[in-house]
Chain A
Amino acid sequence: MAGARRYPENMNLIRTGHSGLPAATIAPERTDAPEVDDRADRDRGWNVVVWNDPVNLMSYVVLVFRRVFGYPEDKATRLMLEVHHEGRSIVSTAPREKAEIDCYTLHRYALWATIERA
């Protein structure tokens, strides 16, 4: 795997709050520069994919998308419906470390999230 990545052992959840509400995001502090960078990774980025789960409430998924990504309600709802009807939706595309942090945050909310090359 290209590049030994090292995230801090103790990542702090920063609750910045959209309109006074906590928004779970993580400070992307790096404790070490990557040893190797992969040009293809930089160019194409990485998709964070959320998969359908029959137990998660639609309203919960919308709330999580709004909290985690700060998406407006209509975009969060559109992505949720894509998950529901198509089985999956790409909810963000970012450099690998950011994609992993997004994925981690979605796992905190127990959404079924994976990462794939864009």
Chain B
Amino acid sequence: MARFKTLADRIEMRPVGDDLVALSLMQEVLASMGDEPDDPAARRLSVAAYPDDKDAQSEYERLMNPELDRQRRMDRDAVASVLKAAESGTVHLSATEAEALLMVLNEARLALGARLGIVDDGWGSDEGRASDPVALLLRYLTGYQDELIRVLAERLET
């Protein structure tokens, strides 16, 4: 059963299987970022625009980081509201909500990848991580995000 379906001006989101459990864990992953000093997940989501220019980077952070933090909080709040509604079944996402879900899914996947120490493209077929719960969550969210991307890309064509 498809998780997402395009409607006229909305995207229908139908939770299936363990979706809500995985998405709840996704929220926990993001909420836990920064709890540990030198968390690789927090580092991955804080990319330097000017990695070789300390002064330019400092100025960029002063200009951009407050807004970036605010937007990410808004995205996570929007996703939290969607997931709360989804506990009762199918929900209809606005374009803004679908965008927020897309971004939050990616942030969580990158955070998980950083904590797993993934550095090459072959991680999806790494049997050594088959039973690692962090890796399992990453795989689940990857499949989930892939379905959302397909629906959003289809809408770009129309």
Contact = CB atoms under 8 A, between A and B. Distances in A.
Interface of A: 1, 5-7, 9-11, 13, 15, 17-22, 24, 53-57, 59-60, 62-63, 66-67, 73, 84, 100, 103-104, 107-110, 112-115
A54 B119 contact: yes
Interface residues of B, number: 48
A53 B68 CA distance: 20
A81 B34 CA distance: 32
Interface string B65-102: 01110111000000000000000000000011011001
A110 B75 CA distance: 13
Given A22-B96, A24-B99, 16 more contacts: A1-B55, A10-B70, A15-B95, A15-B99, A20-B95, A21-B95, A21-B156, A22-B99, A54-B118, A55-B109, A55-B112, A56-B110, A103-B60, A109-B103, A112-B47, A114-B50
A56 B149 CA distance: 12
Contact of B67 (A11, A17, A24): A11
A56 B105 CA distance: 11
Contacts of B55: 1
Nearest to B68: A107
Interface of B: 9, 45, 47-51, 55-56, 59-60, 63-64, 66-68, 70-72, 95-96, 98-99, 102-103, 106-107, 109-110, 112-113, 118-121, 123, 138, 142, 145-146, 149-150, 152-153, 155-158
Given A13-B71, A53-B110, A60-B145, A110 B103 contact: yes
B47 A20 contact: no
B113 A55 contact: yes
Contacts of B153: 59, 62-63, 66
* A-B pairs with lowest CB-CB distance, top 7: A55-B113, A22-B95, A54-B121, A59-B149, A7-B63, A104-B64, A103-B49
Given A55-B113, A100-B63, A109 B68 contact: no
